[in-house]
Amino acid sequence: MELPLSITLAAAYYSALSLLCAALFAFDKHAAQTRARRIPEATLHTVELLGGWPGALLAMRVLRHKSAKPRYRVITVLIALGHVAVWVILLFAT
Cα(84)–Cα(78) distance, integer angstroms: 10
**Domain residue ranges in the chain:** 8-92
Its pTM stands at 0.91
What tens digit of pLDDT does each residue of 8-64 get? 999 999 999 999 999 999 999 999 999 999 999 999 999 999 999 999 999 999 999
- Residue-wise burial string across 4-36, b where 16 or more C-beta atoms lie within 10 A, e elsewhere: eeeeeeeeeebeebbeebbebbeebbeeeeeee
Amino acid at 33: Q
